[in-house]
Amino acid sequence: MDSTQSEDGNGRIARLVLAAGLGAAALWSLRTGKRLRGALAGAGAVALGYSATSDADGVTEPLAEEFEIDATGESDDAETDETDSDQLRCAACGEPIVAGQVRAPNEDGETVHESCLEATA
């Protein structure tokens, strides 16, 4: 038996419910005089409502590409570690510099691990 909902049906319903909740919170905040909170909640409600009702993937596609999420929702970090040519590499040892590692420029202005920089000093 085939489902009539799209793959994103549950996510779309959740975004609609969250948009309605943010809209209610925005109205409540504006009534109590908290204009900034109301404006932010209203902007969030508009953004969620738009993403839930539009068929355009203009908002979610760039994020999926940036975080390397494929259509199944899984990240393929294991495949991209060795094949990604635009990955930041240490100029001293040639190893990739991953997020969270301390790095600094050397005297030539190239990015190196801080440990590699201390080893050459």
Q: State the amino acid at position 118 in one-letter form.
A: E
The residue behind tokens 């925005």 is 26
**How much is the pLDDT for 1?**
46
Q: How confident is the model at residue 96 (pLDDT cuts 50, 70, 90)?
A: confident
Given this model, what pLDDT does residue 30 score?
A: 94
What is the average pLDDT score of the chain?
Answer: 77
The pLDDT value given to residue 81: 47
For residue 31, the one-letter residue type is R
- Overall pTM surpassing 0.85 (yes/no): no
Distance CA 88, CA 96 (A): 6
